Chain A
Amino acid sequence: TQLLEQSPQFLSIQEGENLTVYCNSSSVFSSLQWYRQEPGEGPVLLVTVVTGGEVKKLKRLTFQFGDARKDSSLHITAAQTGDTGLYLCAGLLSGTYKYIFGTGTRLKVLA
């Protein structure tokens, strides 16, 4: 069974704090995406990483793909209330058309 485990499952922090969300699997992925989902809406793509060891930065968000392409992390610097939401990682299993989604991290940033 292919699984993508995210941790932590829930996170409540104060505005201005830093946080890291982890996404781990025993499976190898061709690519890995991070999405954010608001209540009542579909997930919205934040970033795609493709190369093992790749690091991408989008303003206050830093995404890293593990060297073996089995894991990833999302780091948010100086969190803002607008960062509140459900963060999902999703991996495209190598050699397939199958996307596996993580269990999700529900982030709440308090003012």
Chain B
Amino acid sequence: DAGVTQSPTHLIKTRGQQVTLRCSPKSGHDTVSWYQQALGQGPQFIFQYYEEEERQRGNFPDRFSGHQFPNYSSELNVNALLLGDSALYLCASSFDSLSSTGELFFGEGSRLTVL
């Protein structure tokens, strides 16, 4: 049973560029959440996708967008990269959180460095 998989694991971009990160949820999960984790801090909620729609969003600018596909996999897009976007981006999958206890299963993350 595959867990949550993310790609790429590491990437380096320059300011102003755009990046796309990918996530495949754990088998049986239908909900994908994205988090940004700066060094030494807890993860910050970016948004959550369910049934191919964004149903909850954290305090992140519109430069951060996403998508969920019919197979429940998801992408996180960040436009006009800033130095402050350098972080570990974590994908977490779950199953219809409001009707369950809401456990999140995380991937190993994508480490983004913006130069």
Contacts and interface: CB of A to CB of B under 8 A. Distances in A.
Interface centre among B50, B97, B102, B106 (most CB of A within 10 A): B102
A25 interface: no
A41 B109 CA distance: 7
Nearest to A29: B102
Contact of A31 (B31, B58, B92, B101): B101
B8 to A, nearest CB: 14
Interface of B: 4, 31, 33, 35, 40-45, 48, 50, 55-56, 58, 90, 92, 97-98, 101-109
30 contacts: A4-B42, A6-B42, A31-B102, A41-B108, A41-B109, A42-B107, A42-B108, A42-B109, A43-B43, A43-B90, A43-B104, A44-B106, A45-B104, A45-B105, A50-B101, A88-B42, A90-B43, A92-B97, A96-B56, A97-B31, A97-B48, A97-B50, A98-B45, A99-B102, A100-B45, A101-B43, A102-B42, A103-B42, A104-B41, A104-B42
Given A43-B43, A101-B42, 5 more contacts: A30-B102, A33-B102, A43-B90, A48-B102, A92-B102
Interface of A: 4, 6, 30-31, 33, 35, 40-45, 48, 50, 88, 90, 92, 96-104
